[in-house]
Homo-oligomer: A and B are copies of this chain.
Amino acid sequence: MEAKDVSSAGDDTALESSRPRTFIKDIVRGVTEELVGRKVVVGGWVKTGREQGKGSFAFLELNDGSCLANLQVIVDAAVHPLTQLVPTGTCVLVEGELKKPPEGAKQSVELKVESVLEVGPVDPAEYPLPKTRLTLEFLRDFGHLRARTNTISAVARIRDELAYATHTFFRKNGFRYVHTPIITTSDCEGAGEMFQVTTLFSNAEKVEKELKQNPRPSETDIEAAKLLVKEKGETVSQLKSSKASKQEISASVSELTKAKESLSRLEERFKLKAGIPQKDGKIDYAKDFFGRQAFLTVSGQLQVETYACALGNVYTFGPTFRAEHSHTSRHLAEFWMVEPEIAFANLEDDMNYAESYVKFLCQWLLDNCIEDMEFMVKNFDKAAIERLKLVSSSPFERISYTKAVQLLKNVTDKKFENEVEWGIDLASEHERYLTEVLFKKPVIVYNYPKGIKAFYMKLNDDQKTVAAMDVLVPKVGELIGGSQREERLDVLVKRITDSGLPLEPYEWYLDLRRFGTVKHSGFGLGFERMILFATGIENIRDVIPFPRYPGRADL
């Protein structure tokens, strides 16, 4: 099995692992006494660098993204040319010894560099992110570099923590993670406008290209080919009736076959048409990839219900989409949702899970992410940490929609833009008033009028309301929407029909009620809304790595 004798191209026997790199978080959060004197390799990007002592050494504030804090790094001019190291954005991998800084320094440990292992330089004249403070709006034009800023990297860590906390919470409670489909042929009750997924455009382009290289046959070509088939056919008949030799007949049959094949190829190509395939004046989706219209999901709920009706407690956590021309600071065309679905659970159970999930997320950030949260308090929202503490520790208020309306109607200290009347969908101003002013803590509003809610929500005995609930929190308003699902076949059929929807696309959904139906409930949490709530950042475009909205889908 020796291969040394063959071409040595690519037979790189010198492959070697890199020296283990120490994360800056493990240094800045470490115990100073244990760290001082240790040799480490550290890599990261220079936040600020400055030459000191007439250019004899430089201080670098180095950040590796493992935490908010930088490590102070000291490099002597003898070790490496300093001008290459000091520009903001420069990448360095350095080796050195951790030292105790002089008395009075704010950091508890710093790195004295012994050798610079690697440098990724920056021309400060060209670097788009100078060290002056940049607005989040400006940074959106630099989606590929903005993760190097304090704010966006802190958001990324908070987002990661919330994702992990989500999986942890549901696992602890016996839930299984289910990947619901992104491409779907179901419409979740017109939850919003949908993006269509297609290969019709690219297919049309291919046909067009093909026709350019190899033009479509003319009718004359087809006629000629038909004539040839006829002639060859006649020859075969003649030979047969004249009892020619087997050999002769078989030769003529073979020619006939060829002529037929050639004709069918021509006829196939004759049908080729540039453009989107049409049938009866409409686009022919039978020619599309899935043989029908397909869309990007607006919610995994209906599909994940099929798993709840088999595995009991399940959840989905994935991207969802809305093709709405919404330019607000609260909407994205692509965003992530967490959607648990729970068998044998009623609306009260649903609220209990929603409340403990949100509390768990808040406590998780307090326990695992306090530095980044302190950064948010300092720079975006003084109340951010207080809010997490409040939510994680106080029971959520629970009021029926009817009561909420009554309370809002009695409000005298504020004039709402949208008048409150039983039957309306609560507007953001109402929701925020309830949670921020009236109760000053999270509020769950339940039992909404059926007219403003989706068909799949369980009809209450009053026949006027459905077992829906929304969790409202300070700062963002609605964070969670959920409901008990209608598990009674006859009621569900009526609700679908009454909503003006056709039954056929929901037959599979009805099957869940036909065969071993189960009381079940679920909810959806907008993941980016949760990050807005936690951080106090104002615009949802800044809490997702690559925001998509009308006119923008960078990268």
Q: Which residues of A contact B (CB under 8 A)?
A: 1, 3, 6-12, 15-18, 21, 23, 43-46, 64-66, 89-91, 93, 118, 120-123, 126-128, 143-145, 147-148, 153, 156-157, 159-160, 163-164, 167, 171, 174, 176-186, 193-199, 201-202, 276, 283, 289-292, 294, 296, 302-303, 306-307, 309-313, 318-319, 321, 323, 333-334, 336, 343-349, 352, 399-403, 406-407, 422, 446-449, 460, 462, 464-465, 487, 508-509, 511-519, 544-546, 548, 550-555
**Complex contacts, A18 vs chain B, CB 8 Å:** 344-346, 348-349, 519
Of B16, B318, B422, B511, which one neighbours A7 at CB under 8 angstroms?
B422
Query: Can you list 23 A-B contacts (CB < 8 A)?
Result: A8-B462, A10-B462, A43-B343, A45-B310, A65-B312, A122-B514, A127-B515, A143-B306, A144-B509, A145-B511, A147-B306, A147-B311, A157-B176, A164-B167, A182-B319, A182-B334, A183-B296, A183-B553, A290-B553, A291-B552, A303-B545, A306-B555, A508-B555
**Complex contacts, A403 vs chain B, CB 8 Å:** 3, 6, 11
CB distance from A124 to the nearest CB of B (A): 10
CB pair B201 A199 closer than 8 Å = no
CB pair A401 B10 closer than 8 Å = yes
Cα of A46 to Cα of B516 in the assembled complex, Å: 9
CB distance from A39 to the nearest CB of B (A): 17
CB pair B551 A291 closer than 8 Å = yes
CB pair B312 A23 closer than 8 Å = yes
**Complex contacts, A276 vs chain B, CB 8 Å:** 276
**Complex contacts, A148 vs chain B, CB 8 Å:** 309-310, 516
Cα of A52 to Cα of B514 in the assembled complex, Å: 26
CB distance from A278 to the nearest CB of B (A): 10
Take A306-B143, A307-B156 as given contacts and tell me if A3 and B406 are in contact as well, using a CB distance cutoff of 8 Å: yes
CB pair B555 A144 closer than 8 Å = no
CB distance from A489 to the nearest CB of B (A): 10
CB distance from A473 to the nearest CB of B (A): 20
Cα of A480 to Cα of B460 in the assembled complex, Å: 51
Beyond the given A10-B460, A43-B518, A197-B296, could you list 20 further A-B residue pairs with CB under 8 A, ordered by the A residue number? A3-B400, A12-B446, A65-B176, A66-B313, A91-B517, A120-B516, A122-B514, A147-B309, A147-B311, A148-B516, A182-B296, A184-B555, A185-B555, A195-B197, A196-B199, A199-B323, A289-B333, A289-B550, A290-B333, A508-B554
**Complex contacts, A546 vs chain B, CB 8 Å:** 179-181, 303
CB distance from A84 to the nearest CB of B (A): 11
Closest to A174 in B: B23
CB pair A344 B515 closer than 8 Å = no
Take A181-B548, A311-B156, A545-B179 as given contacts and tell me if A12 and B460 are in contact as well, using a CB distance cutoff of 8 Å: yes
Cα of A177 to Cα of B199 in the assembled complex, Å: 31
**Complex contacts, A157 vs chain B, CB 8 Å:** 176, 311
**Complex contacts, A156 vs chain B, CB 8 Å:** 176, 178, 307, 311
CB pair A447 B66 closer than 8 Å = no
Cα of A303 to Cα of B185 in the assembled complex, Å: 28
**Complex contacts, A3 vs chain B, CB 8 Å:** 399-400, 402-403, 406-407
**Complex contacts, A197 vs chain B, CB 8 Å:** 195-197, 296
Cα of A157 to Cα of B23 in the assembled complex, Å: 34
**Complex contacts, A147 vs chain B, CB 8 Å:** 306-307, 309-311
Cα of A181 to Cα of B544 in the assembled complex, Å: 9
**Complex contacts, A290 vs chain B, CB 8 Å:** 333, 548, 550-553
Interface centre among A16, A17, A291 (most CB of B within 10 A): A17
Cα of A179 to Cα of B164 in the assembled complex, Å: 13
Of B302, B345, B447, B517, which one neighbours A10 at CB under 8 angstroms?
B447
CB pair A545 B462 closer than 8 Å = no
CB pair B422 A518 closer than 8 Å = no
**Complex contacts, A15 vs chain B, CB 8 Å:** 346-348, 446
Closest to A1 in B: B407
- Top 7 nearest A-B pairs (CB, nearest first) are A10-B465, A65-B311, A10-B447, A3-B403, A147-B310, A120-B517, A91-B516
**Complex contacts, A183 vs chain B, CB 8 Å:** 195, 296, 321, 333-334, 548, 553
Take A144-B509, A283-B201 as given contacts and tell me if A465 and B545 are in contact as well, using a CB distance cutoff of 8 Å: no
**Complex contacts, A312 vs chain B, CB 8 Å:** 23, 43-44, 64-66
CB pair B400 A10 closer than 8 Å = yes
**Complex contacts, A292 vs chain B, CB 8 Å:** 553
CB pair B303 A120 closer than 8 Å = no
Cα of A179 to Cα of B158 in the assembled complex, Å: 13
